[in-house]
Structure 1
Amino acid sequence: MSFTKRNTVLSPARPGHVAVQSKVEKQLAPGLRPSPLDGRPTTSTGTTSLDQLLAGHGGLPMGTCLLIEEQGTTDFSGVLLRYYAAEGLVQGHHVHLVGFPPEWKHQLPGLATPDPKSKSALSAAPLEEKMKIAWRYESLGNVSNPGFSARTESRSVATFCHSFDLSKRLATSSCKGSLQPTPSTGPPNLQHATPNPVSPFKAIIKHIKAKLETSPADIHRVVVPSLLSPTLYASRCTQPPEVLQFLHGLRALLRQYSAQLTVLITMPTSLFPRNTGLVRWMEILCDGVVELIPLLAHPGAAALSDKKDPKANEQPQGLLKIHALPVYHEKGGGGAETSAFRETLSFSLSASKGLIIKPYSLPPMEEEDHKEKSPAGTVKDDIDF
């Protein structure tokens, strides 16, 4: 019977071999972070509450397209589009603008000034005073919070989602990226009535592909406002072969440059209802479809807006329906099992907080604390029969 030491190494390592204990993570570009679900890189839409709905990824996954439909004559989808473009410019991304002229850059919201009073007591307190068990959960981050925890934000160099103020305009000094206009999609000039043989949508796809090839290490965002609107697009663009081939081209670019490109599209459903075959095919070609349904303003809305009541801005201004979300992988997923599809969601817009999406709930019944003054000579007490 032989005796050997149990702590001895039977097969010694080769000379010059060093064991690697931790994997070196690839450094992501500014404005990107890995998804908590499958690790794919994601970017922010500029709206924190919208990032939370995108199938649990905490942002818009790279290589995906999001279609935002809106009923009525309001422009809530345009606000989301401006947040998306402003976030890209602040992060240093290339933003490709379709339809609008380059002067649209002056309509983007500016960065909000941080309020020191809004900081939580947890971030202000020293680390020694916190619970010892909290260190295990601080690195996870809170999805329901506008940002991750204070300790995670202090470690990260860049901010994933910035806060914007609609009452301000985006300063040139805050823009690290570039706004690149695409070929025009509007109707031809009356002086040059000869139709262009090249489709404007094909010219846009060719322009975006050339930019992606020349800058392989940069992040690109495509902004398509009010798709098929007659004020921005020629009548030729509304034909099904034109618009469907355009979406097919965008989908091909998203799959080819899945680590560089994201697309956000808005479309008015008042002009193109969802029950038409064209809109159904457009929804199929997009990875995510969200619909905004504005609510009619009640008579007391004007009175509430005049008062300095913080709850006035929290009143729901519309409903939000989720028809499709970016999937986890090609086999399925996409948040179909989450509660976002089952519950009714609402949204409200304010200048300082932006567009906030939350579950819709009816306001509580207000009790009549004060009774109406009865005229003189009448009995004030109630009479029960």
Structure 2
Amino acid sequence: MSFRKRNIGLTTPSSPSPQPPHLSPTPTQGVRPSPLDGRPTTSTGTPSLDDLLAGHAGLALGTCLLIEENGTTDFAGALLRYYAAEGVVQGHKVHGVGVGEGWGRELPGLVGERGAGDQGGEGGSGVEKEKEKMKIAWRYERLGEFGGGGATAGSRVPPTPSRGPIPLGKGSGQSETPTPAAFTHAFDLSKRLIVPPGSITYVPISLSANSNPFSSIISSLTHSLKSTPPTTIHRLIIPTILSPALYPSHSCIPTHLLPFLHSLRALLRSHTTRLSAMLTLPLSLHPRSTGLVRWIEHLCDGVLELAPFPHKVEIEPPGGKAGKGESENPQGMVKVHKLPVLTEKGGGGGGGDDLVFSLSRRRFVVRKFSLPPVEGDQEAQKGEAKDFEF
């Protein structure tokens, strides 16, 4: 016998209300996750330098990179200009310390585009290529591209005769996907980048003897981080720190410099998805043997040293004739003292290979260094081979 009432209908347990789907955050332009641990990284404007930074394929946000240089050259200044130009192109907020608008007008322009002050040259060839592209039918332009309908590069697909372009409607089953923005760009030092107004903030240095010359940097950077949206990426650039051409003599006092580096390190750790920094130091004025420079290196996440050759060295790249991209002769050595972001998957330590750099009109390249084989000394090579025969 059942004790259940006959007049009450059976009910199922109430199901939870459907939750809205989780929307992934919109990716910021010029930022991508690291292939090692997924932390956001940004490009330095130099692809070979991005490959050198502990396997993260870029400079991790929330870190700073110190570039030291020996001699009276300014190769480190070129890296800073690439770093600033990349930030301007990506729409990031760039902060330049101790420089004026004249420095911003000298940023390198993009390869293949006309910049300010560029007359003729290679810019005209890019315009002619664009005109020729416009003559090609829009649906045949992408034949042979990766993902453009399954045709491989170099293969020819016979065109289908049609009277006109087929519009993409709702029933076509195809959708136009936006082209992802480039992570890094190629720059030409002979051209000039057109800088939009407000993209670079020039932070002056206090020259008063009674004030800390670095206090204005932290206050300006903190105000900009609070007043901008949380998706805005900031780049801090400090060229030739402690140089007497830009800084007063009392800026070398440790009670002024070290608190500034501690404050900058705290800002970087507080904004690990918004802020990165790059600064240069002239070793001719402040050698690495001094305790102050050692403290600067300790408070920076990455330390690289550029040691230019005292004279022009013409060394043919390994493999005989130099191919495209390897034709630049090395102009100095690159010493890796520390790389940012030490992870459990490796990276962060100094590089074991000998590295050289070369600066051409278009790019700054860091590559491995190896001496070419001696030509014409076949007898010595044969004698060497006989010694190792068993």
Into which bin does the TM-score normalised by the smaller protein fall?
0.7 to 0.9
1:165-176 equivalences in 2 (<5 Å): 165-172=188-195, 175=196
* CA displacement at 1:57 relative to structure 2: 0.9
Q: CA RMSD in A?
A: 3.1
Q: 1:199 aligns with which of 212, 217, 220?
A: 212
- Equivalent residue, structure 1, for 2:347: 335
- How far apart, CA to CA, are the structure 2 residues paired with 1:243 and 1:342? 31
Structure 1 position 180 matched with structure 2 position 201: yes
TM-score with structure 2 length normalisation? 0.71
Contact 1:251-1:285 at 8 Å conserved across structures: yes
1:296-353 superposed Cα distances (whole Å, 9 cap, x missing partner): 334769xxxxxx9968842111111111111245xx666157xx7111111111112x
| Counterpart residue identity of residue 200, structure 1 | P
Do 1:290 and 1:322's aligned partners in 2 also have CA atoms closer than 8 Å? yes
Gaps of 5+ in 1: 1-10, 132-153, 189-194, 302-307, 369-385
Check 1:336–1:210 CA distance in 2 against 1; reply closer, same or farther (3 A cut): closer
Separation (CA, whole Å) in 1 of partners of 2:248 and 2:90: 33
C-alpha change, 1:103 and 1:26, in structure 2 (3 Å) is: same
Q: Percent identity at matched positions?
A: 48
Structure 2 contact 36–345 (Cα < 8 Å) conserved:
no
Q: Given that residues 34 and 57 in structure 2 are in contact (C-alpha distance below 8 angstroms), is that contact kept between their aligned partners in structure 1?
A: yes
Aligned residues: 310
User: Matches of 1:262 and 1:47 in 2, distance apart?
Assistant: 15
SS at 2:65's partner residue? Answer: strand
Which 4+ stretches in 1 moved above 4 angstroms? 15-20, 121-127, 308-313
Please say if 1:128 is aligned against 2:137. Answer: no
Q: Is the 8 A contact 1:91 1:176 kept in 2?
A: no
Residue by residue over 1:265-300, the C-alpha shift from the partner in whole angstroms, topping out at 9 and shown as x without a partner, is: 000111111111111110010000011111133476
Q: CA deviation at 1:125?
A: 9.8
Measure the CA separation in 2 of the matches of 1:68 and 1:122.
Answer: 42
Do the aligned residues in 1 keep the contact of 2:314 with 2:329 (CA within 8 Å)?
A: no
Q: Deviations over 1:16-57 (max 9, x none)?
A: 44797xx64322221111111111111110100001111111
> Post-superposition shift, 1:13?
10
Aligned to 2:355: 345
Contact 1:70 1:77 in 2 (8 A): yes
Q: One-letter code of the match for 1:335?
A: G
Change beyond 3 A, Cα 1:250–1:201: same
Over 3 Å counting, the alpha-carbon distance change for 1:367 and 1:86 in structure 2 is same
Residues 295 and 222 from structure 1, CA distance in 2 versus in 1: closer, same or farther, beyond 3 angstroms? same
1:122–1:69 Cα change, 3 Å: farther
Q: Which digits, 9 at most, give the CA deviation of each residue in 1:341-374, with x for residues without a partner?
A: 111111111112x111111011343449xxxxxx
Question: After the TM superposition, which of the residue ranges 203-212 and 121-130 deviates more from structure 2?
Answer: 121-130
Show the counterpart of 1:158.
181
Letter in 1 for 2:150: E
Structure 1 position 158, deviation (Å): 1.0
Instruction: Output the amino acid matched with 2:105.
Output: H
2:297, 2:303 within 8 Å by CA — same for their partners in 1? yes
Q: TM-score, with normalisation over the residues of structure 1?
A: 0.72
The structure-2 alpha-carbon separation of the partners of 1:24 and 1:113, relative to structure 1 and needing over 3 Å to count, comes to same
Please say if 1:289 is aligned against 2:303. Answer: yes
- Quick one: distance in 1 between partners of 2:330 and 2:20? 57
Query: Residue in 1 aligned with 2:32?
Result: 33
Distance 1:79 1:125, change over 3 A: same
Alignment match, 2:370? 361
Unaligned runs of 5+ in 2: 1-11, 114-125, 130-142, 154-176, 316-321, 378-390
Q: Distance in 1 between matches of 2:314 and 2:60?
A: 41
Q: In structure 2, give the amino acid aligned to 1:31.
A: G
Q: Could you tell me whether the CA contact under 8 Å between 1:63 and 1:257 is conserved in 2?
A: yes
